[in-house]
Amino acid sequence: MINTDALKDKVLDLALRGLLTTQIKEDGSAQELYESIQEDKKKLFALGEIEKNKIIPITDEDFPYEIPDNWKWIRWGDLSERIQYGYNAPGKQSGRIKLVRISDIQGGKVLWDTVPYCDIEESIIETYLLHENDILFARTGGTVGKSYLVEDIAEDAVFAGYLIRTSYSNKLCAKYMKYFMESKLYWKQLQSGTIATAQPNCNAKTLSKMLLPLPPLNEQIRIVNVIDEVFGIIEELEEQQEQYEIDKEALKSKLIDAGIRGKLTEQLPEDGKTIDLLIKLKSETSTFNNSRRKKSKKAIKVEKLPFDIPDNWEWCRLSDIAYTNIGLTYRPEDVSEDGTMVIRSSNIQNGKVDYNDIVRVKCPIKGNQYLNNNDIVICARNGSKALVGKCAIFEGKDKEASFGAFMAVLRTPCYKYVYYYLHTQAFRRYFSDDDTKQINQVTQNILKNAYIPLPPLDEQKRIVERIDELLQYCQ
């Protein structure tokens, strides 16, 4: 899969180096543009409309990288007419005017329908009133540095205190300025100027000192057009990749489902009947399972079975062919770097056991709470319904490991076939679609009583091989 975020970063980097556009003599130079903007700022200062900013010199050593000859490195504060903190007031359901907060800016847009109102004196509204092409900048919290180019103002609004508003000359391309605030160069400078506290924050001084590469106005516009075009293509790619992942997962699910229904393999007379295998497996698992619960006297009712299976297969319950157990409960003080590994829900990633961020403990562990090679470990309890039921085959071999209290284990000679069965929609519907069950938990009773279609052992092997082969194509 293509990392589209990295691709966008690269496009911005190339664009801000002048490598995606041609430098045209007729555009003039950024120096001329800068001098014109400074003249305008002097006039505004003389009229008392803006404050005079202190120009911080730039030396060659400050330059982050080389830019075209007719460009100029410039500080944000030297281009801005105002860098201003927002108005502090509580949001209200009604009031004089709307108050845009950090939380109202999502996905590069203001969610105007949910923006609250505030009370503000009429005499200061103009001071905080948002205008087209202003740029808002989040100065604190988890979104520090996030920016928004003000466009399509639905109604008069002011901006809240945790935001900084920067306004600048109309001789600059607003969207070029916004694209700079999405670049790695911007974020690197922001990071170095951010105050690290429980609530990280950045101030107007940091923003004012930031260096940005300034092209002539016409080239700014061409750069924006190129970025818009390329980003449009990348966003189409993102949509296609998202749909591809959805389609891929749906295909994998259908392939596994077909295998568990006997539709990917041929039923061979020499395989024999499943009843002989079932009798053998019941005998092997009955001692353990029956010691932990009363033997179920319920027969499997035909009308309750999820789907039809080949004639030589048998419907059974998981407890007939596998035994189960719940995981280990340990205390924080039991955690030890040289203790026994404990597999938790977070260690099951993409259908495999991930040994990163593994917990080790030193505490009493029962024999049936140790994992054997080829045990199936299952997430039995989680705050997210989507994560409940995810599983992996433990292939630890010589690794000594247990499994956590929110996990369950299935141990069976048919482990790979059962592993695929646990990925079917039939199993997920069994434990999640019944409103009488806890949707965020697969209990021991659910596991033991779940129906599973059982083929003869040789056909199980063929089904697993066929599913493995087809899933490789899905990758």
pLDDT tens digits along 171-217: 999 999 999 999 999 999 988 876 655 556 778 888 888 999 999 99
Task: Please report, rounded to a whole number, the percentage of residues in the chain having pLDDT higher than 70.
Answer: 91
- pLDDT of 438 reads 46
What pLDDT, in 10s, does the model give residues 70-114? 999 999 989 988 889 999 999 998 888 999 998 888 877 888 888
Q: Beta partners for 136?
A: 148, 165
Whether pLDDT at 357 is above 90: no
The DSSP call for residue 334 is G
Kindly give the residue spans of alpha helices, DSSP state H, lying in 4-117: 4-15, 30-46, 76-79
SS (H, E, C) 220-267: HHHHHHHHHHHHHHHHHHHHHHHHHHHHHHHHHHHHHHHHHCCCCCCC
With beta carbons less than 8 A apart as the criterion, state whether 340 and 401 touch.
Answer: yes
Write the CA distances from 323 to 60, 74, 286, 288, integer angstroms: 72, 70, 8, 7
- The size of the chain, in residues, is 475
CA 9, CA 111: separation in Å to the nearest integer? 26
Q: Where are the domains of the chain?
A: 4-235, 267-457
Tokens read off for 395: 């292939």
With beta carbons less than 8 A apart as the criterion, state whether 44 and 81 touch.
Answer: yes
Asked if the 267-457 domain carries CATH number 3.90.220.20, the reply is yes
* Residue with the two structure tokens 């040789």: 458
- pLDDT of 299 reads 42
Task: List, in order, residues 6 or more apart from 297 with CB less than 8 Å away.
Answer: none
Tokens read off for 129: 């009133």
Reduced to 3 states, what is the DSSP secondary structure of residue 459?
helix
- pLDDT of 286 reads 65
CA 261, CA 38: separation in Å to the nearest integer? 76
What pLDDT, in 10s, does the model give residues 129-160? 999 999 998 888 778 888 899 988 878 999 99
For CA atoms 341, 346, 351, 355, give the dihedral sign.
Answer: negative
**Among the CATH numbers 3.40.50.261, 3.90.220.20, 3.40.50.2030, 3.30.70.260, which is that of 4-235?**
3.90.220.20
Task: List, in order, residues 6 or more apart from 76 with CB less than 8 Å away.
Answer: 83, 166, 207, 208, 209, 210, 211, 212
